[in-house]
């Protein structure tokens, strides 16, 4: 977030931030990190394929990209067909081996909150400009990825070498004991982490096991928009000071200016967050980028994938 903010506030005229939650296939080493315990079973990722992400990046460099494209952040995905919950994805990929998410994890050891996955209501905006989507989801998953798993499962040599569900679960538990894993947090009384993962120890203790009826579902895809406190139809360039004050109030803070700036990009203007921190930030960074108080952000939990 700080890196993106630095670009927002750079004064450069030609930059873009392309955000994606999950690119498939992922870096293989990610499966060996505690992040495998961080995605709640019913939490979704709207995946982008590595091929389409690559086309997107290549097209950014083309001359036909319109001037209006720049100085914004966009969500990147391969489309609505790529919306999968954690359990749907695991069950789909492992189906040829007869393995499901339930075989690989205990329900009460998977985080319930604070993963970054969700659907994008505006994923199409980026494709409308850069035209990178080219693989229908059912062909990609069913025809490509799952088909390969089926061929592997049908090969007796691979089948013999492939770990059993029990072995995979045991290995996952080892990973969960690494720093940042749920086992690590519970066994080492990392209360901040426990709160972030489960809400509280009590809530964690109340999680039903799979057999007791832990509910797996696919969250509704019906789009509902938040009211951000101001008229978003106006366009950022046309907001007046009342709009900015209402936008800040929506975030529990204030806009401390007397009038709206002439330029939404620079210079930054003064805001105050709910905790009373005053900070300078451009209208574009706050309202297009969704950035807010840097001091509060510094206290949020962030974790690097460890290289150990
Ligand atoms: Zn703050």
- For the chain, the average pLDDT equals 93
What per-residue confidence (pLDDT) applies to 304?
Answer: 43
Please give the distance, rounded to the nearest whole angstrom, from the Cα atom of residue 199 to the centre of ligand 1. Answer: 22
Please give the distance, rounded to the nearest whole angstrom, from the Cα atom of residue 293 to the centre of ligand 1. Answer: 5
Sheet holding 269-272, edge to edge: 254-255, 269-272, 278-281
Please give the distance, rounded to the nearest whole angstrom, from the Cα atom of residue 254 to the centre of ligand 1. Answer: 11
**What confidence category does residue 302 fall into, taking pLDDT thresholds of 50, 70 and 90?**
very low
Please give the distance, rounded to the nearest whole angstrom, from the Cα atom of residue 291 to the centre of ligand 1. Answer: 11
Alpha-carbon separation of residue 51 from 10, 23, 55 (angstroms): 30, 9, 6
Task: For 206-220, write each residue's pLDDT tens digit.
Answer: 999 999 999 999 999
Task: For 228-280, write each residue's pLDDT tens digit.
Answer: 999 999 999 999 999 999 999 999 999 999 999 999 999 999 999 999 999 99
What per-residue confidence (pLDDT) applies to 21?
Answer: 77
62 neighbors 105 (Cβ within 8 angstroms): no
Task: For 8-35, write each residue's pLDDT tens digit.
Answer: 999 999 999 999 878 998 877 778 999 9
Please give the distance, rounded to the nearest whole angstrom, from the Cα atom of residue 294 to the centre of ligand 1. Answer: 7
The single residue listed with the structure tokens 């996955």 is 117
Task: For 285-301, write each residue's pLDDT tens digit.
Answer: 999 999 999 998 876 55
Please give the distance, rounded to the nearest whole angstrom, from the Cα atom of residue 253 to the centre of ligand 1. Answer: 9
Q: What is the mean pLDDT of residues 56-65?
A: 97
Q: Which residues have their alpha-adjacent CB atom under 5 A from ion ligand 1?
A: 273, 275, 277, 293, 295-296
The single residue listed with the structure tokens 């690494």 is 178
Please give the distance, rounded to the nearest whole angstrom, from the Cα atom of residue 226 to the centre of ligand 1. Answer: 22
Please give the distance, rounded to the nearest whole angstrom, from the Cα atom of residue 152 to the centre of ligand 1. Answer: 52
Please give the distance, rounded to the nearest whole angstrom, from the Cα atom of residue 269 to the centre of ligand 1. Answer: 15
Domain ranges of the chain: 14-224, 232-305
Q: Give yes or no for residue 189 having a pLDDT over 50.
A: yes
What per-residue confidence (pLDDT) applies to 20?
Answer: 83
Cα 89 to Cα 103: distance, rounded to the nearest angstrom: 14
């Amino acid at each position: 977030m700080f890196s993106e903010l630095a670009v927002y506030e750079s004064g450069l005229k030609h930059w873009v931030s392309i955000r994606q939650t999950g690119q498939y296939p992922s870096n293989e080493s990610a499966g060996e990190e505690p992040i495998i315990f961080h995605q709640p079973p019913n939490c979704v990722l709207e995946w982008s394929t590595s091929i389409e992400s690559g086309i997107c990046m290549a097209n950014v460099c083309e001359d036909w990209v319109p001037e209006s494209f720049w100085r914004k952040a966009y969500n990147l995905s391969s489309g609505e067909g790529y919306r999968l919950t954690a359990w749907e994805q695991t069950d789909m990929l492992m189906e040829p081996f007869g393995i499901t998410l339930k075989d690989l994890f205990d329900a009460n050891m998977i985080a319930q909150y604070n993963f970054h996955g969700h659907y994008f209501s505006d994923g199409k905006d980026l494709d409308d400009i850069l035209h990178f989507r080219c693989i229908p989801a059912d062909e990609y998953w069913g025809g490509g990825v799952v088909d390969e798993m089926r061929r592997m499962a049908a090969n007796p040599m691979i089948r013999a070498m492939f770990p059993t569900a029990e072995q995979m679960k045991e290995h996952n538990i080892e990973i969960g004991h690494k720093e940042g894993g749920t086992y690590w947090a519970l066994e080492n009384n990392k209360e901040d982490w426990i709160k972030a993962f489960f809400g509280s120890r009590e809530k964690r203790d109340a999680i039903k096991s799979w057999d007791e009826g832990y509910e797996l579902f696919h969250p509704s895809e019906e789009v509902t928009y938040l009211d951000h406190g101001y008229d978003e139809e106006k366009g950022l360039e046309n907001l007046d000071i009342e709009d900015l004050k209402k936008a800040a109030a929506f975030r529990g803070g204030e806009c401390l200016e007397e009038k709206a700036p002439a330029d939404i990009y620079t210079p930054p203007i003064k805001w105050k967050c709910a905790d009373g921190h005053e900070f300078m930030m451009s209208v574009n960074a706050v309202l297009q980028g969704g950035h807010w108080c840097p001091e509060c952000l510094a206290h949020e939990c962030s974790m690097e994938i460890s290289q150990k």
